[in-house]
Each structure stands twice: as structure tokens, then as C-alpha cells.
Amino acid sequence: MALISTSSRDAAALLNQNEIVAIPTETVYGLAGNAYSEKALKKIFELKKRPFYNPLIVHIKSGADLNQIASEIPEQAKLLADVFWPGPLTLVLKRQHTIPDLVTAGKDTVAVRVPNHPVTLALLEQLNFPLAAPSANPFGSISPTKAEHVANYFATSSLTVLEGGECRSGIESTIIGFEDESAVLYRLGSITIEEIEAVIGSLKIKTHKGEAPLAPGMLSKHYAPKTTTVLTETISQALVLFATKRIGLLTYQDHFENKNIVANEILSPTGDLTEAASQLYNALHKLDQLELDVIIAERFPDHGLGRTINDRLERATKK
Ligand code: AMP
Ligand code: MG
């Protein structure tokens, strides 16, 4: 049975023995191991059932450690790290040769960030290595934003989950790489395009939905509930189309009622996209446990965090 623990010392002891531990971050919970330990890295892929072509993110305790991970740091990357770290921004940079192929999926680049969570920053302070971590969910399923989500996913394993409360941002980091010196956005995330562009000017967007993704979050089907889920512009129309027995609704601000609606998760009654993003995965977890015939999700306004939420909903509802 997975164990939820509040001891970062116990977590550090496990990590020092090449074991893996689930850690809280401000985005989602991660499945972490010593980024230099092949043994730990293999355990992450095994437990998650993650294909080896999907690279991991290296978590460091401060930007001062970046040159141990990356061999080249463009000026724009420095600028972004200064503004957004610790925080939900992942930089994809040329790797140091010491970074294992399992972390980078054999690429010459490595993804790295400084998480903004006091528990995990305190843990990193106790370790003399960085942590490689993907999200702490089985491959393709909804990301965990609470320790109990992780414990439920890995109930039959002996995984230790370090308790850190509910993730504040609740949606993955924004991933930025560099091609021919210009910044490229690979994954929409907690930091909006508008916020990034305010720092470094206009960005190329490359969040394509191919089969062999540059970044795991780029897989077209991802973040998916077990329940059939559809995305719609207009809830009232979808309700007519899906006149099934048990419907779950995921809406931005509005509440709907009819005899088929079993539950309506409203992400932000006041229309606050930050609040909506923080509640997205928790609401999907809740709806997915209700044995529904269908989850109908409402499309969000396509700006700021609304754009990130739509990206996740599109991947969650992809056939
Ligand atoms: P997860 O947090 O589970 O989505 O996994 C880590 C994420 O890091 C993946 O989704 C990838 O998008 C991203 N990533 C890691 N390494 C690289 C890299 N070298 N190039 C591009 N993206 C990367
Ligand atoms: Mg993931």
C-alpha cells in the first residue's frame, strides 16, 4: 500500500538509497528519483508505465545549479529563469554530458526547473543530487494535485508520497526551448504565453500533437479520465446530444441542472482562470470516480490560462 508521509527526512533517506518518492510541487505531484541514478530512473518509468522516449524534468534547488545540468544557457533563458524561478517554467537546454540518457530520452537537450514548493525545496536542500520527475500518475492519465490522488493511483505499490497539500497551480509547467537562438514554447502551462512574451518578446509556438513528441505533454491523448469525456462550446446543446443516464459536467462558471446530471463541477464561479486551472484535475478526478456514462466539459475562453486549460481538455477528450 502506498504511504503518505510528512517526513522530508524519510523521503531523503529513500532517495539516497536510489528509491523513488512522490513529491509535491506547485504544479502537480511528481514521481521523483536521483537524476544521476539509473536504478532510480528505471523505477520511475516502470511504476508509471511510461515509454522511454518520454524525457523527464530535472528539478534543482536553485538557478545557481543550472550550469551543472545545462551546458549552454542562452540569454533569454537566463532572463526567464531570473523572472520565473522558483516557479512553473521548465527550460529545455543543451545538456551536460553527465545527465543520463534515461532523463533526456537520448536527446542532446535536458528539461530543468526550480519547483516552488516549500516541502520539495527543503527536500532538495537535504540532497546532494537533483531530482528527475515526471508527473506522479500512470502514463496518459489525469495528473495528481493531491497526495491522495497519487496514493490511489499506486495503491498496490509501496510508494512513499511526501505530503504537501493541494498543488497551488494545479496544472503542469510551461515548457520553453530554444531553436536557432529563438525561444519556442513546447507545452502550454501554468505560466501564460502573455507572461512569457512580456519578458522576452514574441514566442514561436510548437505544441504539436504528433506521435513522437518532443515533450511528453505533447502527446495528443494525455491527461485522460477513464470515463468517456467530450468537450463542447455549448453545454446546453451537448446535454441534448448526450441524453444518457448519468452525466457529469465540468463547467467554468455556470451551474446546470436536469435529471441526467449527477454532478456539476464548477471550476470558478467568479470567472477566475487561475482558480479554474488550480481546480481542473481535482474536478476531473472527482467526476471520474462517479461511474458516469459521460463527462461533458465546457471549452474555456482562449486566452491566458484558459488556453492552457483548453489544451488539457482537448488532450483529455481525444479519442
Ligand atoms: P510530465 O511532467 O509527466 O509531463 O513529464 C515531463 C515533461 O518534460 C514532458 O512532458 C516533456 O514535455 C518535457 N521534457 C522533458 N525533457 C525534454 C526535452 N529534452 N525536450 C523537450 N521536452 C522535454
Ligand atoms: Mg505527465
pLDDT of residue 209: 55
Q: Per-residue confidence at 292, pLDDT binned at 50, 70, 90?
A: very high
Distance 58 CA to ligand 1 centre (A): 9
Q: pLDDT tens, 55-82?
A: 999 999 999 999 999 999 999 999 999 9
pLDDT of residue 318: 84
- Helix, strand, or coil (residue 157): coil
Nearest residue to 312 (alpha-carbon basis) of 148, 177, 190: 190
Q: pLDDT tens, 134-153?
A: 999 999 999 999 999 999 99
Distance 310 CA to ligand 1 centre (A): 19
Q: Is the CB of 206 under 6 A from ligand 1?
A: no
Q: Is the CB of 172 under 6 A from ligand 1?
A: yes
The answer to which of 17-21, 174-178, 210-214 has the lowest mean pLDDT is 210-214
Which residues have CB atoms below 5 A from the ion given as ligand 2? 135
Q: Per-residue confidence at 200, pLDDT binned at 50, 70, 90?
A: very high
Q: pLDDT tens, 102-133?
A: 999 999 999 999 999 999 999 999 999 999 99
Let me know: does 98 contact 36? Beta carbons within 8 Å: yes
Task: Tell the residue nearest (CA) to atom 17 of ligand 1.
Answer: 111
Atom of ligand 1 nearest to the CA of 28: 2
Q: How far is CA 155 from CA 6, 24, 236, 275, in A?
A: 18, 18, 38, 29
Q: Is the CB of 133 under 6 A from ligand 1?
A: no
pLDDT of residue 109: 98
214 has a pLDDT exceeding 80:
no
- Kindly report, as residue ranges, where domains of CATH 3.40.50.11030 are found in the chain: 229-316
pLDDT of residue 211: 42
Q: Which residues pair with 58 in a beta bridge?
A: 112, 132
Q: What percent of the chain has pLDDT over 70?
A: 95
Angle between helices 305-317 and 273-288 (to 10 degrees): 20
Q: Is the CB of 109 under 6 A from ligand 1?
A: yes
Q: Is the CB of 110 under 6 A from ligand 1?
A: yes
* Average of per-residue pLDDT values in the chain: 95
Task: Tell the residue nearest (CA) to atom 21 of ligand 1.
Answer: 215
* CATH superfamily placement of domain 229-316: Threonylcarbamoyl-AMP synthase, C-terminal domain (3.40.50.11030)
Ligand nearest to the CA of 189: 1
Phi/psi for 228 (5° steps) reads: -55, 130
pLDDT of residue 32: 98
Distance 54 CA to ligand 1 centre (A): 7
Task: Tell the residue nearest (CA) to atom 4 of ligand 1.
Answer: 217
Alpha-carbon span 113 to 124, nearest angstrom: 12
Nearest residue to 201 (alpha-carbon basis) of 173, 171, 181, 218: 181
- Kindly report, as residue ranges, where domains of CATH 3.90.870.10 are found in the chain: 3-205
Could you tell me how many residues make up the chain?
Answer: 319
Check if CATH label 3.90.870.10 holds for domain 3-205: yes
